[in-house]
Structures are given as structure tokens and as C-alpha cells.
Amino acid sequence: MATKKGLGKGLSALLPDKPIYIEENKEKVTLLPLSQVIANPQQPRRDFDQEKLSELANSIKEYGIVQPIIVQKPLQGNQYMIVAGERRWRAAQFVGLQEIPCIIRELTSVQVEELSLVENIQRQDLQPLEEAMALQQLTESCGYTQETLADKLGKSRSYVANSLRLLKLSPQYQQLLAQGKFTAGHARAVLSIKNAAKQATLVKKICVDHLSVRQAEILAKQLSELPVLTKTNSKTAADPVLEEIAQRLKAKWGVKVSLHDKGGKGQLVIDYYCEDDLQRIIDSLLPE
């Protein structure tokens, strides 16, 4: 069996020109030219951390590729599509290897999707939206129910359901989730609110005040219980001076402020959504 060092350094010089086969876990491993191995266009992972790829490349350079990648037997031509192990393939390109150890399997398109998804989920660093889109793809292309997916992935049905729910986020909130501005737990709190304006209020609070998931859930519940303001039940200050004051207070405290004039009398209404809001307003009104 070829040594790890042999796979890492001078691979082409140390091994025969033709692919060789190595018995490993009852599956044959063959060395394929890197140029004949291509990425899976349906790969669930879209973002490959360049720093981690560089670390993997350094490891491959020193020790070789310890675990072969899994590829699909070509349907036509001589190109093999990656089913599992694209990070190793990318790192091998970075190092400049000419050949890569592979396990060749004859798989259906459904099996390819399953293996690719399972490998990524087992790595536990697939982004929430990437995982959700991969799960949706399996439900659409394979007709799997949430129960079936949960069984195949070794996850609970609620895990699968919560993951798929993330796709109901509006595109701008999906982008924030992909950028790491908030977590899947925060996203579920946002989705618990049906009103778009209230969702926007919660998202802003999460991003600006760095709310925990628990704080976001509490605020989501409070926002859901508030009545939705419409043109018929909403009263705005007719006096532009009062309106300007309300806007300045809103900018200062980061909460909704309303001034209602009633012929020289009126109301100043200050909304707050969590204890931090209340404390900040009190500290501003009653400085020590």
C-alpha cells in the first residue's frame, strides 16, 4: 500500500504511470489524474474557507491525502464527478498534485445528492442556508418527506423542519444570515412574527444591540402581541415641530416615540421592547 509520505511528495515519480488499485476497507482506491476529476455542480457547500483550505493543503503537502475522495463513475467520457471530498480535491490543486486517490462508485443521481449532503452535515460546519437549500433539493428531486430525511440524516424531524423554515426568510434577511450577522436561532425568532414591519424592527434590534437568541425570542413574542398600526387607528402628530421632536427622540433611544397633541394637552408615548431599552431610556431621562 502506498505510504502517506508517498502520496504527498513526488507522487507521479514514485508510482506507475497507469492508475493502481489499493485494497482499503473492501473498496478499491485508484489514483486518478487531477484533471479528470471535476466538482459536483450540486455541491451543497458554496463557501470554502480559504484559510482552512490553506491549512489542509499544508497538511497534504507534508503527509499526503490520508482519506481518498469518493467520485462517481463517468456516465460518458473520462471525467469523474466528486461525490464527497471536494475540500481535499481543492487543496490538492493548491499543492500542485497531478493525481489524487479516489474511490469510484457507480451511483444514481439521488445517491450522489444524499452522500454529498450527509458528508457536509457530518462535518458540522455547513452554513445554515446551504444546509436548508440542500435539504429542499432532496425533497424536490427525490420526493422525500421530512420524516424520511430525518431518518436518513440521523436528525430529528424538528431539526429538518427548522432548517427548511429558514428558506422562508426574505432575501435580505437570508443575506444577513449568510453573512453571520445573526444565527439560525435568531432567524427562527424573526419567522415567528408574521408582520413584515415588526420583523424589520426585530432584525434591527438583533443586529444593532446584539441580542441573544433568548432575548430575540422574548422580543418577538412582545412584538407579535402588539396591534398592527393602520391608517385608521394610527395617530400622528399634526404639528411638524412635535413630529421633529418625536423623530429626534426615536433616533436617540432607538425605539418608537409618538407625540399626540390634544389642544394644548397630549401624550408622549415611548415604546420599549426589552429591559435594556427601558434602562437606557431611564438613564437618559434620570441621569445620576
* Spatial contact of 29 and 21, defined as CB atoms under 8 Å apart: yes
Query: Where is average pLDDT lowest: 35-39, 188-192, 234-238?
Result: 234-238
Which stretch of 62-71, 76-85, 178-187, 279-288 has the lowest confidence by average pLDDT?
279-288
**pLDDT digits over 97-117, tens only?**
888 899 888 887 777 777 776
Distances (CA, A) of 30 to 7, 38, 64: 12, 16, 15
Q: Which of 164-168, 221-225, 272-276 has the highest mean pLDDT?
A: 164-168
Residue (of 276, 271, 257, 269) closest to 208 by Cα position: 276
Helices and strands in the chain: count of H runs, count of E runs: 14, 8
What does R_g of the chain's alpha carbons equal in angstroms?
A: 28
Look at residue 16 and tell me whether its pLDDT is greater than 60.
Answer: no
Q: Are strands 37-38 and 80-84 parallel, antiparallel or unpaired?
A: parallel
Return the active site residues: 86
What is the pTM assigned to this prediction?
0.51
Cα(164)–Cα(160) distance, rounded to whole angstroms? 6
pLDDT at 179 over 90: no
Are the C-beta atoms of 253 and 280 separated by less than 8 Å? yes
E strand segments, the chain: 21-24, 27-33, 37-38, 69-72, 80-84, 99-105, 257-262, 265-270
Mean pLDDT of 183-204: 92
Q: How many residues does the chain have?
A: 288
Report CA 196 to chain centroid distance, whole Å: 22
Position of cell 497531478?
98
State the number of CA atoms in the 13 A half-sphere of 12 facing the CB. 7
The band of 228, judged by pLDDT with boundaries at 50, 70 and 90, is: low
Question: For residue 10, is pLDDT > 60?
Answer: no
Q: What is the pLDDT of residue 264?
A: 66
> Does the pLDDT at position 62 exceed 70?
yes
Q: What whole-number distance in Å separates Cα of residue 64 and Cα of residue 92?
A: 9
The SS3 of residue 279 is: helix
Domain ranges of the chain: 4-126, 178-234, 235-288
Q: What is the CATH number of domain 4-126?
A: 3.90.1530.10
CA pair distance 30, 16, nearest whole angstrom: 12
At 202 the pLDDT is 92
Q: What is the pLDDT of residue 119?
A: 67
Evaluate the CA torsion angle 273, 279, 283, 286 in order and state its sign. positive
Rounded to whole angstroms, the Cα distance separating 2 from 238 reads 83
Q: How confident is the model at residue 184 (pLDDT cuts 50, 70, 90)?
A: very high
Work out the pLDDT band at 235, boundaries 50, 70, 90: very low
Mean pLDDT, rounded, of the chain: 77
Q: What is the pLDDT of residue 76?
A: 73
Q: Residue 98 is which amino acid? A: Q
Kindly state the average pLDDT of the residues 200-216: 91
State the SS3 of 162-188: HHHHHHHCCHHHHHHHHCCCCCHHHHH
Contact by Cβ (8 Å): 40, 82: yes
pLDDT confidence of residue 242: 77
Average the pLDDT over 27-46 and give the result.
Answer: 79
Cell numbers of 45, please?
Answer: 457547500
